[in-house]
A and B are shown apart, each in its own frame.
Chain A
Amino acid sequence: MKRHLLEAADLDRDDATLVLDTAAQIDSALAGREVKKLPTLRGRTVVNLFYEDSTRTRISFELAAKRLSADVINFSAKGSSVSKGESLKDTALTLEAMGSDAVVIRHGSSGAPHRLAGWVRGSVVNAGDGTHEHPTQALLDAYTIRRRLGRLDGVRVTIVGDVLHSRVARSNVGLLHTLGAEVTLVAPPTLLPLGVGSWPAEVGYDLDAALPKSDVVMMLRVQAERMNASFFPSAREYSRRYGLDADRMAALPEEAIVMHPGPMNRGMEIAADVADSVRSTIVEQVANGVSTRMAVLYLLLGGHA
């Protein structure tokens, strides 16, 4: 494996499979145990460097590091020297001078983790950068699909919604393609990025046509904070054409699952009864996120012979 995890393309098929297998073994090792802690990364320090708001990703990384006995420092831009004008580079070098072994970074600017990787000696893990990539989300999604359906090769995954702004979609297309799944993107034309034709995925505009051919539907969040132009006429119209409700869910094949990276807008891209149905893996994805991130931290930090 490479020293950093910056984008889905950093993982070839063997590496990605190793991460998923490791996560599965960690899950089975910790299942039913009272002591949910392993001594593996004792004495290592992981810095969570978060320039953007996050609940599940930050907590998930924190929990993953703590379950491996690493020390965790949580840094959020609010209330730090960043508000005094300190640059990313100086912040990172400061943290490294204090002895951090790995930096988990979320940043509003695409490419920030790549820049960081050139400045620090430790490992850098991208926890979401701008509209670029969110590789550990893709790994936990792939892990969830494999657990539910038992395979990834040939699984038909339909990703629905705001692909333009979605780092989750970008990472998932890359990783799922690497692992042999067939990805279809469904979105309003205004919410597809330029050059989407070169992605290893089919592109469509009609959700109802795609559903019967999907083993997995992954609903993306409509990101209100990034809706700075008229991408669609109204929330209601978006919901009517691209929202997943009970009727649409009924059109899915029998074994199909419904995924959402969270946080969800209930009633917007996903109806409440769909989000809470047995086909929904939304809560499972959160739990799988911890074991997947433990696997990533173990493989990046455990040691290199």
Chain B
Amino acid sequence: MARSSEPAHSDARASNPGVLLSGADVARVVDRMAHQLIERYARGGGGEDRPADDRAGEPGADDGGLSDLVLVGIPTRGAPLARRLAARIEAFSGTPVDVGIADITLYRDDLRLRGVRALEPTVLPDAGIDGRLVVLVDDVLFSGRSVRAALDALRDLGRPRSVQLAVLVDRGHRELPIKADFVGKNVPTSRSQQVRVHLAETDGIDEVLVIEGDGVSGAPRGSEGGAS
């Protein structure tokens, strides 16, 4: 899976087995992902030594580079993550990056099973996403169904030139042929575990937890960042 080198030092994990990433870890992972995005998308940002397939969607000589980039967060926690990534990219590269939010609730294929829920806002940058380089941002990649729904939503919202995927945590157990292009941390999990991402914007604290079986079935779970 994509180019992700995991931070080896996670002191918190030793003291509390449930904590996968501490607040400092989350900040470091976000910084690294921002650097990876810059490397991939900045004009003349290198990478020409890689095979053409791996560079799909990257800007060519006539592209706007980072200014063509749009980070589209998937609510709930993908939205603040996208904003953080954009802020870090601007801090590192000096180029402001557009951010959007695409609520996928109305595109989900499991509403009948899990019931309706309140919708989140959908916000696109003023310049839209037509012809631009979209990177979907989510907290946890699990079954891949959220990403599929997000791809369906994007199709209705415009026609980006390319779409890539960035996730904070990839926990495996895909049910669809989907893989992330930027991964903050790969975590082998069992289906009965839950991965919960907490962010200061939504939960008051930055941390990623792995929680042992909840007694329910191993089916992907929703809003707590279990499913993606």
Contacts and interface: CB of A to CB of B under 8 A. Distances in A.
A267 to B, nearest CB: 41
B157 interface: yes
B119 interface: yes
A37 B156 contact: yes
B11 interface: no
B116 A299 contact: yes
Contacts of B152: 39
A108 interface: no
B106 interface: yes
Interface in B191-219: none
Nearest to B124: A32
Interface of A: 18, 21-22, 25-26, 28-29, 33, 35, 37-40, 68, 298-299, 302-305
A46 to B, nearest CB: 15
B160 to A, nearest CB: 14
Nearest to A1: B116
Given A303-B113, A303-B115, A304-B115, A28 B106 contact: no
Contact of B116 (A28, A35, A39, A302): A302
Contacts of A40: 106-107, 111
Contacts of B120: 25
For the complex of A and B, the 3 pairs showing the least CB-CB separation, nearest first, are A305-B115, A302-B116, A25-B119
Interface string B84-121: 00000000000000000001001100011111101111
Nearest to A39: B107
Contact of A305 (B106, B113, B122): B113
B111 A33 contact: no
A162 to B, nearest CB: 36
Interface size class for chain B?
10 to 19
Given A303-B114, A304-B115, A298 B106 contact: yes
Nearest to A18: B118
Contacts of A68: 106
Interface centre among B114, B119, B120, B157, by most chain A C-beta atoms within 10 angstroms, is B119
A91 to B, nearest CB: 27
A interface SS class: loop
A29 B106 contact: yes
A71 B119 CA distance: 23
Nearest to A298: B116
B118 A21 contact: yes
12 contacts: A25-B118, A25-B121, A29-B103, A29-B121, A33-B156, A38-B106, A40-B106, A298-B116, A302-B111, A303-B111, A304-B115, A305-B113
Contact of B157 (A26, A33, A39): A33
Contacts of A37: 156
A208 B155 CA distance: 53
Interface string B39-72: 0000000000000000000000000000000000
A18 B119 CA distance: 9
A39 B106 contact: yes
Given A39-B107, A303-B114, A22 B119 contact: yes
Contact of A29 (B112, B114, B119): B119
Interface centre among A21, A28, A35, A302, by most chain B C-beta atoms within 10 angstroms, is A302
Interface in B170-198: none
A29 B100 CA distance: 12
Contacts of B111: 40, 302-303
A302 B113 CA distance: 10
A18 B116 CA distance: 11
B163 to A, nearest CB: 17
A28 B155 CA distance: 17
A29 B154 CA distance: 11
B2 interface: no
Contacts of B119: 21-22, 25-26, 29
A305 B103 contact: no
B24 interface: no
Contacts of B114: 303, 305
Contacts of A39: 106-107, 152
Nearest to A35: B156
Nearest to A36: B156
A179 B121 CA distance: 22
Given A22-B118, A303-B114, 20 more contacts: A21-B119, A22-B119, A25-B103, A25-B118, A25-B119, A25-B120, A28-B122, A33-B157, A35-B156, A38-B156, A39-B106, A40-B106, A68-B106, A298-B106, A298-B116, A303-B111, A303-B115, A303-B116, A304-B115, A305-B114
